[in-house]
Structure formats: structure tokens, C-alpha cells
Amino acid sequence: MAETTPAKVARFGKALRLFLERVGADPNLLAAVLVGSLTEETVWRRDSICLWLIEKDGVTKRLRADGEDPRVFRTLVEEGVNLHVELIPRGRFKRMVEGSARTAFRYSFFARRQLVYCADPSLDKWFEEADTLARRDQECELLIATTWLIRARRHAARLLEIKGDLELAFQELLGGAHCIAAAEVIAAGEVHEGLAIDRALTLAPALTREVYLEPLAAPRSAEQLGKTLAALDRYLETRGEPRLAPVLRYLRKARRLVPLSELADHFAHSRLFPWHLESACEWLETRGRLGKFSAPFGLTKLSRVEVEEPAYLWEDEG
């Protein structure tokens, strides 16, 4: 007989309580952060409990399996429930809170985090401040979702118009629909752990039906996929540029040619990948908002021969 969701919630909750008792008995472990809640909304699709464990500095136990990765992950088990744990030294946790790595609190806008054990009052304060800031950072999250959407739309158009591959184009368009759903949830100021598509059906029902449900139900055809692609274009037409405002703001303030590497460095604190920034800038160029040029770039510290990289210039509307 299949386990009911309430029973699974109770089983996961018991495993967490017993595990935290072990943590509390170890003076080297200062705090535990539950990543993702244990509720009926989320537990039905979870196979494990995810945690950050904050440890004292200088006590990290590394294994050969960790390789060169500075981050240490462990898979543990309690009462038959697997626990996926990242061990974080106190000093690095402080840097996560205060510095550019604060994006760790925002790495999934839809994952709630809860301090479930703390033996260090300063960690409690740091966590509260950082988590509050992360949840409020709508502008950056909307920027990220929009660059992902532009990238998905770009690939879908090439697959459809050049390759004529309906199946792969369909997959990219569904990816774009998920980006739109995420953006709509973020724009509503919500931190939602369920499927973003489900929540978007409530927040923006007509839009979500058009870009997700209708393409799923319709037969695969170039005409039908073209309609979905056009729907993504209309969405970007009205919402794309405002949500790319941080990029435009940086280039407008610079008032000079800005290489892509510099732009990527500026946004390195977020999950904005250079190739997504590239797609966003190319899209803005097609709208006449940016000019595209090139700038010299040395591939190594000792390179005397330079190659060229994309560079962008803000176009004055006046």
C-alpha cells in the first residue's frame, strides 16, 4: 500500500528531529539550516531532506572523494530517510551572508530555508538578515528568469526555423514556459515551493494556458509551435526590457563600450551566466537599445596576442 502524504510528512519530521538531536550533541556543529520545507505541499515529491550544517572553523573532515571542490557534501541517513548535507565552516557562512556569495540564500527563489538548530546567537542574527535580503531581491530574480527565457526562445527559434526539429523546438518552448511561470511567481513577490507552473496558472491563467497547456494538448506542427514562439515574443515585448533594467542601467552609467567579460564580472554575484547575458544583450541590440562591437581580450595573464570578445554600448534614446 502506498504511503500517504501525511504519513510521509510525519516520517520525514521524525527523521529530522532525531538527526538534530545528534547534531546538538556535537559541540563542533553550530547550526543547521533546513533547505526546503517539510509540508504536504512539497514532501510528496521529495526523496531526501536537504540541510546546511554550520561547523566550527578548522574542523572540516575531507575525503578523497571530495576532490578539489572547496565545498563539502555528505549523504547521511536517519530512520531510513536520506539527508543531503552541505558542511559549511562558520567563516565561510559569514562570507556567504556579508559578501557576494549571498546568492547562496537565493540560489533557488522557490526554496524556503529555516534555521532549525542554532548554538551560536550570532549565526541566528546573520541568517535572519541574509534570508530577508534574499527574499526581497525581486529585481535580480526577474533579470535571471528573463535571461533564461531569452536563451530558450533563441534556441527554439533556431530549431524550428533552421533545423525544422519540432520535438527539440517543443522542449525549448516548454523551457521558456517554465521561465515565464517562474517570472510571474517572482513578480507576485511569492516564495513558492510547489511547481511554478501550477502557481502561475492561478496568478496568470490565460498566459500560462497559452504558453504551456495549449502547446501540450495540440499536435506537434510547425504552425502550432510558431504560435507558441510568437506568444513568447509578445511576452518579451511587454516585459523583457523592464526586467533587463539592471543590465541597461549598468551600460547607461558606463557610457562607454563595455566588454562582455566585464559585464559578466559585474553580475557574477548572481546566477547570471555569461552566455545568458550574451543572449540578453543580443536581444537588446535587435531592439535598438544597445550597439554591438568588439573589444580586445587576453586569454591568459601572459598573452601578448589578443583575441576579440563582444562588447556593448548603450544607445542614447535621444
Q: Which of 79, 104, 136 is the last residue of a domain?
A: 136
Say what the pLDDT of residue 251 is.
95
pLDDT at 168 over 50: yes
Q: Which residue has the cell 504552425?
A: 223
Give residue-wise pLDDT tens across range 6-21: 999 999 999 999 999 9
Q: Are 244 and 284 in contact (CB under 8 A)?
A: yes
Same structural domain, 73 and 118: yes
Query: Of the candidates 73, 71, 112, 74, which has an alpha carbon nearest to the alpha carbon of residue 95?
Result: 71
Same structural domain, 17 and 117: yes
Q: Which of 243, 266, 296 is the last residue of a domain?
A: 243
Say what the pLDDT of residue 38 is.
87
Average per-residue pLDDT in the chain? 89
Q: Which of 88, 112, 136 is the last residue of a domain?
A: 136
User: Which of 89-103, 137-151, 158-172 has the highest average model confidence (pLDDT)?
Assistant: 158-172
Cell of 207: 498566459
Say what the pLDDT of residue 133 is.
57
Same structural domain, 112 and 148: no
End-to-end CA distance of the chain: 69
Q: How confident is the model at residue 100 (pLDDT cuts 50, 70, 90)?
A: very low
Q: How many domains does the chain have?
A: 3
Same structural domain, 235 and 217: yes
How many whole angstroms from its chain centre is CA 256? 30
pLDDT at 171 over 90: yes
Same structural domain, 166 and 269: no
Burial of 31 (0-12, 13-18, 19+ CB in 10 A): buried
Cell of 72: 563539502
Q: How confident is the model at residue 175 (pLDDT cuts 50, 70, 90)?
A: very high
Q: The CATH number of the domain where 68 resides is what?
A: 3.30.460.10
Q: Are 152 and 70 in contact (CB under 8 A)?
A: no
Q: What is the mean pLDDT of residues 114-124?
A: 90
Q: The CATH number of the domain where 274 resides is what?
A: 1.10.10.10
How far is it, in rounded angstroms, from Cα 272 to Cα 279? 11
Query: Could you list the residue range(s) of the whole structural domain that residue 269 is in?
Result: 244-318
pLDDT at 102 over 70: no
Same structural domain, 261 and 216: no
Query: Collapsing DSSP states into helix, strand and coil, what is residue 292?
Result: strand
How far is it, in rounded angstroms, from Cα 52 to Cα 96? 12
The angle at the Cα of 195, spanning 189 to 199, to the nearest 5 degrees, equals 50
Quote the radius of gyration of the chain (alpha carbons, Å): 23
The angle at the Cα of 287, spanning 281 to 290, to the nearest 5 degrees, equals 45
Same structural domain, 14 and 109: yes
Same structural domain, 279 and 233: no
Q: The CATH number of the domain where 187 resides is what?
A: 1.20.120
Q: Considering the entire predicted model, what is its pTM?
A: 0.77
Q: Are 252 and 314 in contact (CB under 8 A)?
A: yes
Same structural domain, 230 and 301: no
Same structural domain, 264 and 228: no
The angle at the Cα of 205, spanning 165 to 197, to the nearest 5 degrees, equals 60
Burial of 244 (0-12, 13-18, 19+ CB in 10 A): buried
Q: How confident is the model at residue 315 (pLDDT cuts 50, 70, 90)?
A: confident
